[in-house]
Structure 1
Amino acid sequence: MSHLVQTMAYVGATPWHGLGNQLESNQPLEVWADAAGMNWRIEETDVMYRAGSHDLDPLHSFPQQKVLFRSDTKKPLATVSKRYQVVQPSEILDFYRDLTEVGGYQLETAGVLKEGRKLWALARTGQSTKIAGVDEVRGYLLLATACDGTLATTAQFTSVRVVCNNTLQIALGRSRGAVKVPHRSQFDPRAVKEELGIAISSWDGFMVRMHELADRKVSQVESERFFQRLFTYPWTKPDSNGPDKVNERGLKAVLNLFEGNGRGATLESAAGTAWGLVNSVTEYVDHQQRARNAGNRLDSAWFGAGAALKQRAWDAAIELIA
């Protein structure tokens, strides 16, 4: 398939990226595995090489590396070190078993990116708040992993603003809101849940910040300075003395969203506030930022450059209420 999302399942409304197979609510994890294309295993084998140029030359093993491949299609996924600890697609879904059966969580989306190199599932926690009485934000827990070197196994609290379906990771500090398990370590779901403190601490802190941002009015000068800061980048060449580069297209887009053209931009919580600044950036990343296709945009918004831009926007907004 041409997009990065190879297979995906969801419940409820069609996701903002418009991809996936729709399921009824409260389906068993086994049904999710089939619909999300996660009913296969990551297998491994030795790296082999041929020293000569002829097909009849013997194959040799390279013991320091191994090849990961899909059990169903046999397609290669990555070459990794012998110490690499595999996290299976089934483990991503099983992480939510007790949370959905007895914890009140509900799976809303799960799927496969990059032909199996990246896997994720997202569940609604049941936590939510309404900012200024109407702007609803819901809490979610995202679990994702990758075997191509781009992502540690990551459990991340995430919020979704209902009016525009924007996503924003809940990161109150470098050590809160997320747990990352590098692939040189064994993935222990129980330990991850304990470290996250699945309870309500991260959500409560995030909720306080959201309300504070909605109460913080910003001037036109402050908003322009905010976006200018986010969309200005230094030259990558260390010996260059030229001016910083500005993403003029992105800057114009977020200003347009903030000035009343974004989804929910005219709500009391967002109009002329620091909360509106943040949501202009999240809407731009999730819905407008240039991408080859919807799959690429999803990958960027959750795991890549888009997620980093949203985090910078959040950090810059928090400075306004410090």
Structure 2
Amino acid sequence: MKGAIFTLILVLACISSSYAFWSTGHMIISRIAYEQLKEKNETLYNLIEEDIKLLQEFSVEVNHSFVEAAIWADDNKEIAFNQFTEWHYANTPVILPDFEGEILSQPQNVTWGINEMVKTLSYTKTPKFNNSLALSFSWRYLLHLIGDIHQPLHASTMFSAQFPDGDMGGNLFMIDYEAEDMNNLHSLWDASVDQYGSIWAPLSDDEWTSIGEFADSIMKMYPRESVQARVDITDPRVWAKESFNLAKEVVYSDLKSGDKITPEYLKIGRKAVNEQLAVGGYRLADALLNLAQKRYSESIIKQKLQSS
């Protein structure tokens, strides 16, 4: 094919700004799930958190492991623990008419990663060894990946004459915006379209309160019943498709690389991303509850309660 370009989307793993929703957005999604789970079944929530805490000493977490663990998968990138980086995104191509080339498929992606964690957590046969490590790892990655898949630039990348090798999920798509740390499209959407600031684990008391206030505000904007039809969709492939469509219709819209971000773009983008945070939090809560109901039999629950 004339002008054929073989693209390895794995190169996105080398871009540090590819962290989805930065830490604040991830913790907001996890805080929404935290509130939902504690309200629906606090016993199962406590059992999940107990498993998550098994790896707490290998993290920066202090008092709020369930919420803080949502960024553990990204924190590990700081030590070049990148074996699982492809799990964080599914870069379905947004192809402009002027693109000529060929795009290689991504062998593993965020939907694959979610499904693998679900398989592990759904397996309830007792092994001959202590499986606590695998369970804690799987809960932690599931917390993170369900957040990732709701960031539209973790479900898309643009291919065009300007970006023949792809724009790496918006990392190469430069923008004219007042915030110096948001100079490309990916970083703007990682920052929830410049909302909620940048909060990192471990959370101080004030930061824990702030994350709770953000989560509460988003749940009031988008109560569960208002987005229940979306929340009821349980297939991660559909979640990725939703994010891809959002990228085409809202994130990229009519923007060209280097364009100034307008107040109207911010308004539309913030509305879209807040719905994604709400839906992601509700879906995360339901996924965790469903897995916990399978994982913890009545006898296991009684045994754990007696030993606690």
By the TM > 0.5 criterion, same fold? Answer: no
The structure, 1 or 2, with the larger RCO (C-alpha pairs under 8 Å, 6+ apart) is: 2
Structure with bigger helix share is: 2
Looking at secondary structure, tell me which structure has more strand per residue.
1
Give TM-score scaled by structure 1 length.
Answer: 0.25
